[in-house]
Structures are given as C-alpha cells and as structure tokens.
Amino acid sequence: MTTHNLLVELFVEELPPKALNKLGAAFSGVLAEQLQSQGLAAADAVVTAFASPRRLAAHVTGVLAQAPDKAVQQKLMPVAVGLDAAGNATPALLKKLQALGADVSHPAATVAALKRAPDGKAEALFYDNVVQGASLQVGLQKALEEALAKLPIPKVMQYQLETDCELPGWSSVNFVRPAHSLIALHASAVVPVKALGLTAGNSTQGHRFEAKVSPVVLAHADQYAETLQSDGSVIASFAERRGEIVRQLQAAAARVGGGVKPIEDDALLDEVTALVERPNVLTCQFEKEFLDVPQECLILTMKANQKYFPLIDASGKLTNRFLVVSNITPDDASFVIGGNERVVRPRLADAKFFFDQDRKKTLESRVEGLSKVVYHNKLGTQGERMARVCAIAKAIGQKVGGDALAAQAEQAARLAKTDLLTDMVGEFPELQGIMGGYYARHDGLSSEVADAIEDHYKPRFAGDDLPRNQIGWVVALADKLETLVGMFGIGNVPTGDKDPFALRRHALGVIRMLIEKDAALGLPELLALAAPVFGDKITGGPEALMEFFYDRLSGSLREQGFSAQEVDAVMALRPARLGQVHQFLSAVRAFAALPESPALAAANKRIGNILKKAGEVDAHVNPALLAEDAEKGLYAVMQRLLPESEAQFKAGDYTASLQTLAALRAPVDAFFDDVMVNADEMDLRLNRQGLLKSLHVAMNRVADLSRLAT
C-alpha cells in the first residue's frame, strides 16, 4: 500500500508559555498513537512535534489513506445462552450477530460457522469477522479528537465561535485558547477533518508582524517547517527555536567580551522559547550603581519579571549588561534596546529601595513581629515556630558540639525567619534566607551565623548544596524537623500527589544531611528531641513519621541503583544512624555475591520463622545440653566465628563481619539436617532455640539476611 506523510496543525492564540512544550509533545504523541492503533501508521513511524506560541503541529511519516482490513475474533456469549437444547440459535445470539453485521438469513449455516472454545468454566461462542480498515478521514478525525481531549491543559477557557451554516449564530467552544485555523495535509491532499468548529485546509498564519505573506499556504506536508520559516518568519520547532536562542545568547555574550556568559536557567530558557516565534537576541545595560544591591535580587527581578538573561563575569559576579530575546528583528534595534532598558530601570530601583529600607532595621528588632504572623491555625504563629526551632537547634547543637555550638545555633535559629518581615522578601519570597544572610552581615553578626541564616533552608531541592558550616547544618536540620514533626503531629500528611507543605522534600533533606555528614545522631533520637517542644499542640506520635522517613530513604536508595532486595534487607532493621546505611548496603551486596549466601539466607529465614513461633527466646546456650554432634559442631564454630564477626562489626568493617559468617553454611546445613529443634524434652528445646537465637542475632546485625532468600 502507498503511504504518504501527514501534517496536522492547529493555529491558536498565544498558548500558556510554561505549558507549551508539554502541549506540543502531548498533541503529537497522542495523535500518532491513535493513527498507529487504527493501522493507519506503522509502529516505527517517525513523529515530529512542533510547538510555537501560536500553534501546535505534528508530522507523521508513512500514513496510509486506508487502513488494511483486519481479521478479528469476537466473543459472543456462552454456548448455553446462544444455543437452545436442539442446538439452534437463540434470539439473543441472532440479535448479537446482526449487530456485528453478520448475515443471519440462514441461521443454521451461520451457527455452523461459529467457533466454540473454553472461556473460564464455561464454553463460549466466537465469531470470526473481517473488519474494514478505517479511512484516513475517519481515523484522523478520531485521532484528532482524542489528541485534543488528552492535552494537559492547565486551564480551559470558553469562547464563542460563529457557526458556518445557513442560519447564522454562535456556538460555545472550550479550549485552552481560541483556535483560528486547522491544517490536515496527507502529502499535498487536504484531509477534511473538523475540530473546535474549524474545518481543515492548507493555510495558516505566520509571524504576527514579520510574515512575508498572509496567509501562509502549504503545498505539501513535508514542506511545513521550511515554508513556515521562509514565508511566515516562524521557527515552528520548539527544540530548534531553543537551540537558536542558545546560539544567539552565546554569540551576544562573546561580543560583549571579558569572559561574560548568560546565566544558566533551563526553566527561563524554555519559557522564553515559548514566548517568541522568531528569536532575536539584543544586548542591553543598566546603571552600575544598581550593582550595590545584592545580585540575587537583581537577577531575580530580571528573570522573573522581564524574562531577561543577566550576564555573569568569570568570577560569577553580575555585570550591568543583560540580554533580551526579542520577537521582532527591526533594521534599527535601538528602540527595542532602549525600551527594555527603560522598563528594567524602575524594577531595579524598587529592589534598591527595598534593600536600603530593610537595612534601617536590625533583624533582632523584627523578632517580635514574628508573633503577629500566623504559621498554622493548629501550630500557632511564626514566633511560636521560631521558639520551637530554637529549642530543637539548641538541643542538637548541644549533642554534636557542646555549649558553644548550641548557643550559636540558637542565635541563628532565632533570627532565621525575621527576613520574612522585610520588604525585599515580601516582594520576592524566593529570596528568603538569602536576604537574611545579607542583613545579618550588615548587623555585624559573625559570618558563620550569617551563613547559617542564609543556608537554613538548604537543601531546597534534589542536588542542592548542604549548609556550608555546622551552625547552618544544625539550624537547617532543626527547621525541617520542626515542620515534619508538627505537620505529622496534627495529621497533615502527604496523600497521593498532594504535599502542600513539601514534607517529602523536607524528609529527603534531613536524610541527606544525616547521611552526607555521617552524623552520630540517630533518627529516633532526633525525633525524641523535637517532639517535646510542641507540648500539647500535637497528638500524633513519631511512629508514622519514622516510617515516612524510612519509606523516603528506601525509594531514594533504589533510585541510586541498589536492588529492592538489598534495600529491604538493610531497611528491615530500621537503622538508627543513617550515615551507616550505604556501608550496610555495600556489605550486603558483597555477601550476596558469595556462593554461601543463598543457603544462609534461606536458613536465616527458617530460623526467623522458628523463633517467631517460639515467642520470647533467651539467646543463651548451655553446652552441657548439646546432645547431637551437629548442634555441638555448630556451637563450636559459632564460638570461634561470632566474636570475630562482632569485633569486625564494632570496628565498622561490616563487609568483613558478614563474610566471616559465610563459614557457618556447612554447620548450619548439618544442624537442620540432623537436629530436631522442637524436641519433646523442654530443656533440649529451649537450649536449641537459644542456640538459634544467638545465631540469628549475630547474622542480622547488618541486615535482615532472610530478605535475600528467593
């Protein structure tokens, strides 16, 4: 069958920029999947997505005009329902066959052509039929409707569309933005499908201001991108447009010289790509006096409010130059440059004003104001929260660094939230913590305390840096623990994809800090320090939060490449000190590679089951009661190996500790072959259970080895 390439484009008003790339990928993906499922496109068809501010399009290779007929076998009904006692078709069967298009004028012949086959407990009737393949118009209509229905639209709008019929009127259409035209080209032929009140044609619109012709007419599906760029002055591909912006940004920075480079921000780059159809990068500047303001403030206002790319020098410092991605390419760009410079100046002036005003009050003078800011209706004000964080930070500081660290951590925790009351953070909430650090230095506080205030939100996201110093580490840990203990204590736990207080992120932050710093503090100990500071404000115990931590840690470890068996074995013991977890995992991985591992893991599982049934068992062995040679042999080997394994465990050599136990395989196998654990004599039974208990304790110091059993 002859195939041709297909092009579908929906031309609309400006789409939401932050969603554009996803919309383009979803539109083309679902469209192609639907064509493939109907047999109109091959499974290996090449699908190319296009997305610009005013269009979504897809190019699919090798599309048929008519899908091939398809032989299908359809289940009808149980034989007992479809045939009567004489073997004749029942009315229900005939009705079903008629609905499928079968000829029932000769019922006996029709029944004879049916197949019988077991279907569960009963026998069923099946009908072999040939289904005619869909035409491209029918199949594409279905695919287009499905693609539009499944678009991940952030918010639907309703608009009115004039009806195209003899009686004039208006109809309501629901879509992300008003749609104005539809293209469906199979090679050079228009496929007359409809969507959103539009009928497909072969024309679209180009750049709003710089298109060379209007409308832009497409002669062939394969000429879409080329024609749109040459006649419409639009780069239709999101990826190509993004690449062109990157190229122009780098070229503009090179022309400025001095080793400057545009700030790296993928989210900003994606958003700008979704705002322009024909990018043109221009270089602008602002007055150097604004550089006295913290560069984070200037960078944020330029990126967030204006979508500019600030230029950074080789040392990472902000320059007074920035790059603008314009959507027009005038012969004289001075007006565009001047306009952007005029627009950014008031923004920077506002930032300077906020910075100057904020420094007129010390952070200490703002502490009292925290008591007027509600944190949570069940957990009180920010002032109450600050007091709890202070108490937790002081307790942690005392544990890990004594009086000096406790005092510094308490001071940093007391001031850490005060920048929430500043004008700068009020305008730019993203700068909380950062501005606190600047204001702390201005107030004459030590650099260590100022850095701790700045860093106490870290790590803010996966891969973010940890706090720079120990004071910051203590305060950040205290801050996250306060949030987690408080929210779990009042029942505000994450459910499904809902996590409004970012508790999953906070938990992973705590885990990272404990692991990467190899903190001597155990997780249960930390929760025990944090819970009492809430008094009667919380009712939930720490058990659910503890499980939440271990669940987060387990998921993180699997993402790092550890197997589910390895993770389950280690996490089953609920290790208190998280800094040891990776060492435990490495030891388990090395043990699992030993030839003795499967047998010992199975034996460990068997021992666990025996002890579970026995109830409370004392890990004590009376050598005089060892009657069988196999139990004497096992006891003798244990006397030699267990102290060695325990010493290696205490020395932190967990791999050696487990490998030492590998020599137990033969005596353990012999024990289970020759010894009846649950002997009739009570003293023998208890002694053998005690022997197994001693062995079980020794084998499961690092991990629950029974989890390695297949």
Torsion of CA 365, 370, 371, 377, to 10 degrees: 180
Checking if the pLDDT of 443 tops 80, the result is yes
- Convert the pLDDT of each residue in 666-681 to its tens digit: 999 999 898 898 888 8
Q: Which residues contact 146 (CB under 8 A, 6 or more apart)?
A: 30, 31, 34
Give, in order, the Cα–Cα distances in Å from 315 to each of 163, 292, 466, 520. 61, 17, 22, 37
| pLDDT class of 532 with cuts at 50, 70, 90 | very high
Question: Which CATH number is 581-708 given?
Answer: 1.10.730
Checking if the pLDDT of 164 tops 70, the result is no
Residue 92: the pLDDT is 87
Q: Nearest 5°: phi and psi at 495? A: -135, 125
Q: How far apart are CA 21 and CA 463, in angstroms?
A: 24
CATH architecture of 377-561: Orthogonal Bundle (1.10)
Residue 340: the pLDDT is 96
% of the chain exceeding 90 in pLDDT: 77
Contact 467, 476 (CB under 8 A): yes
* Farthest CA pair distance, the chain: 107
Contact 262, 310 (CB under 8 A): yes
Cα R_g (the chain), whole angstroms = 36
- What is the third-level CATH fold of 3-67+135-232? Alpha-Beta Plaits (3.30.70)
DSSP 8-class letter at 547:
H
Q: Which residues contact 39 (CB under 8 A, 6 or more apart)?
A: 64, 67, 68, 70, 133, 134
Nearest to 654 by CA among 603, 705, 615, 691: 705
Exposure of 475 in the CB half-sphere (CA atoms within 13 A): 33
Residue 169: the pLDDT is 66
- Convert the pLDDT of each residue in 678-687 to its tens digit: 888 899 989 9
Beta strands across the sheet bearing 318-326: 261-262, 309-312, 318-326, 280-285
Give, in order, the Cα–Cα distances in Å from 700 to each of 291, 372, 635, 637, 706. 60, 52, 17, 17, 9
107 against 144, higher pLDDT: 144
Nearest to 56 by CA among 81, 89, 21: 21
Contact 611, 692 (CB under 8 A): yes
- Convert the pLDDT of each residue in 204-233 to its tens digit: 999 999 999 999 999 999 999 999 999 999
Q: How far apart are CA 707 and CA 550, in angstroms?
A: 16
Q: How far apart are CA 453 and CA 457, in angstroms?
A: 8
Give, in order, the Cα–Cα distances in Å from 497 to each of 208, 323, 459, 706. 40, 37, 21, 33
Contact 313, 260 (CB under 8 A): yes
Using DSSP, state whether 657 is helix, strand or coil: helix
Q: What is the mean pLDDT of residues 685-698?
A: 91
Q: Nearest 5°: phi and psi at 600? A: -70, -35
> To which residue do tokens 């709008």 refer?
157
Q: How far apart are CA 398 and CA 405, in angstroms?
A: 7
Tell me the whole-structure pTM to 2 decimals. Answer: 0.81
Checking if the pLDDT of 121 tops 90, the result is no
Using DSSP, state whether 129 is helix, strand or coil: strand
- Convert the pLDDT of each residue in 240-292 to its tens digit: 999 999 999 999 999 999 999 999 999 999 999 999 999 999 999 999 999 99
- Convert the pLDDT of each residue in 605-626 to its tens digit: 999 888 888 888 888 899 999 9
Paired strand residues for 32: none
Tally of residues, the chain: 710
Residue 365: the pLDDT is 97
